[in-house]
Amino acid sequence: AQSVAQPEDQVNVAEGNPLTVKCTYSVSGNPYLFWYVQYPNRGLQFLLKYITGDNLVKGSYGFEAEFNKSQTSFHLKKPSALVSDSALYFCAVRAAVTGANNLFFGTGTRLTVIP
């Protein structure tokens, strides 16, 4: 069975400080891992993904995430938070097998960047 855990419902960080949004996953075989961001009443916007290769993945808006196979984690990070980064963030996983196109989402983490 596939699953994603985002242990923090809410993360608050001061503007300019580094931020981390945590994600751990469970999947059979190799994972495809994703981060999406959602603004109020909007669909999901893609931030970044890990498919294979370098464990450190760089994405949109200065975000990055590190794939850690031994800890089954894929934490989202940004060196310096902006107020405009305040949104709902979802981690998602998909099994890396043909035909397994469904994404499993975490429960989401609401990030608030304080001016």
Partner 1 sequence: GAVVSQHPSRVICKSGTSVKIECRSLDFQATTMFWYRQFPKQSLMLMATSNEGSKATYEQGVEKDKFLINHASLTLSTLTVTSAHPEDSSFYICSAWATGILNTEAFFGQGTRLTVV
The footprint of partner 1 (CB under 8 A) covers 32, 34, 36, 41-46, 49, 51, 90, 92, 94, 101-103, 105-108
Q: In one letter, which amino acid is 10?
A: Q
Alpha-carbon span 65 to 67, nearest angstrom: 7
Taking the CA atoms of the chain, what radius of gyration do you get in angstroms?
14
Instruction: Dig out the tokens for 2 from the structure.
Output: 């596939």
* Phi and psi, residue 32, nearest 5°: -105, 130
Q: Minimal distance in Å, beta carbon 83 to partner 1?
A: 21
Q: How far apart are the first and last CA of the chain?
A: 41
Q: Minimal distance in Å, beta carbon 41 to partner 1?
A: 6
Q: Minimal distance in Å, beta carbon 80 to partner 1?
A: 25
Distances (CA, A) of 52 to 12, 44, 110: 31, 23, 28
Q: Which is nearer to partner 1, 82 or 103 (CB)?
A: 103
Q: Which is nearer to partner 1, 44 or 82 (CB)?
A: 44
Q: Which is nearer to partner 1, 64 or 108 (CB)?
A: 108
Q: Minimal distance in Å, beta carbon 10 to partner 1?
A: 10
Q: Which is nearer to partner 1, 68 or 107 (CB)?
A: 107
